[in-house]
Amino acid sequence: MSLLVVGSVAIDSVETPLGRAADVVGGAATYFALAASFFAPVRMVAAIGDDFPEQALSDLRERGVDLSGVERRPGTTLRWSGRYHEDMNVRDTLALDLGVFAAFQPLLPAAYRDSRFVFLANIDPRLQQAVLEQLPAPGIVGCDTMNHWILESRADLERLLQRVGILVINDEEARLLSGERNVVRAARRILTLGPKTILIKRGEYGVIQFSANSVFAVPAFPLEEVFDPTGAGDVFAGGFMGQLARSGDTSEAGLRRAIVYGSVMASFVVEDFSYRRLQTLTVEKMEQRYRQFVSLTDINGG
């Protein structure tokens, strides 16, 4: 089943302890769409500027991503530059220029309106809400957010969360949203805000999922070299939602397998800058790492 994503598309300049890349394509929607495209047809809603490279659009099209909801507007594409610390769980934003993204108003092509699987990547919660209002029958709604909206647009975010099934955030965001430092308490608190399921991303330590009756935790796939963590969380979400759309299985077991697929996809994207690693990735390699992941976590395995 097809999967709709709305979110940012960006041009990034990134510096990590292992190297740097200037003016490479990034953005949550880009990373999400490319990862999800390994599982299901993806429809994308975003805004880009005059400066956005045609090559990146080709790359997305080549992976079958439907770009009819990507609007090119006069001006510059969102630009972000950041530097990762030696501890790559920590990064500093060096510059941010919203460009055409500042006036982004997501408008869904008519053909997108039957989307059943929807992911609202991190943008203003009012825009996320506006997307939902254009969808007559969204089935599974996943959502990300960030500290800025939690602090500055709390009421809008809380209104939105009542319509969100699966919230995908990182541990810092979970703490800020809940006011609880402990991850279990944070999740319990957030479950009262609407979502039936919370996925808390913990960087190199993996993901923990909470729902009313179940907790599931997986480590991240251990890698000898993390080249660039940019986009890992978005790629995780793309693999996760992609697998849900591919299988149609949103049972607890289906969610768990989808979390592992998300983790697998994230483990690939950090092996190179931007989305390069996803361009050479095959479904076969992906399924192979899925099996490695199962063995990595199997208490009775070995």
Q: Which residues bind a second copy (CB under 8 A)?
A: 86-87, 181-185, 188, 202, 204-206, 208, 214-219, 222-226, 251-253, 255-257, 260, 293-294, 296-302
Look at the alpha carbons of 196, 45, 83, 205 in this order and tell me if their dihedral is positive or negative.
positive
Q: Which of 42/226 has CB closer to a second copy?
A: 226
Q: Which of 7/242 has CB closer to a second copy?
A: 242
Helix (H) or strand (E) holding 66: strand 66-72
Residue 75 CB partners (closer than 8 Å, separation 6+): 49, 50, 99, 100
**Cα-based distances in Å from 108 to 4, 59, 100, 136:** 10, 22, 17, 12
Q: Which of 19/205 has CB closer to a second copy?
A: 205
User: At its nearest, how many Å lie between a second copy and the CB of residue 285?
Assistant: 18
Q: Which of 28/258 has CB closer to a second copy?
A: 258
User: At its nearest, how many Å lie between a second copy and the CB of residue 152?
Assistant: 24
DSSP 192-248: TTS-SEEEEE-GGG-EEEEETTEEEEEPPPP-S-----TTHHHHHHHHHHHHHHHH-
Q: Which of 52/221 has CB closer to a second copy?
A: 221
User: At its nearest, how many Å lie between a second copy and the CB of residue 278?
Assistant: 22
Q: Which of 103/184 has CB closer to a second copy?
A: 184
**Cα-based distances in Å from 230 to 48, 74, 220:** 19, 27, 15
Backbone angle region of 213, left / alpha / beta, with phi > 0 → left and psi within -120 to 50 → alpha: alpha
List the structure tokens of 168: 């995908």
User: At its nearest, how many Å lie between a second copy and the CB of residue 215?
Assistant: 6
User: At its nearest, how many Å lie between a second copy and the CB of residue 175?
Assistant: 10
User: At its nearest, how many Å lie between a second copy and the CB of residue 283?
Assistant: 19
Q: Name the DSSP letter for residue 91.
A: E
The three-class DSSP label of residue 39 is coil
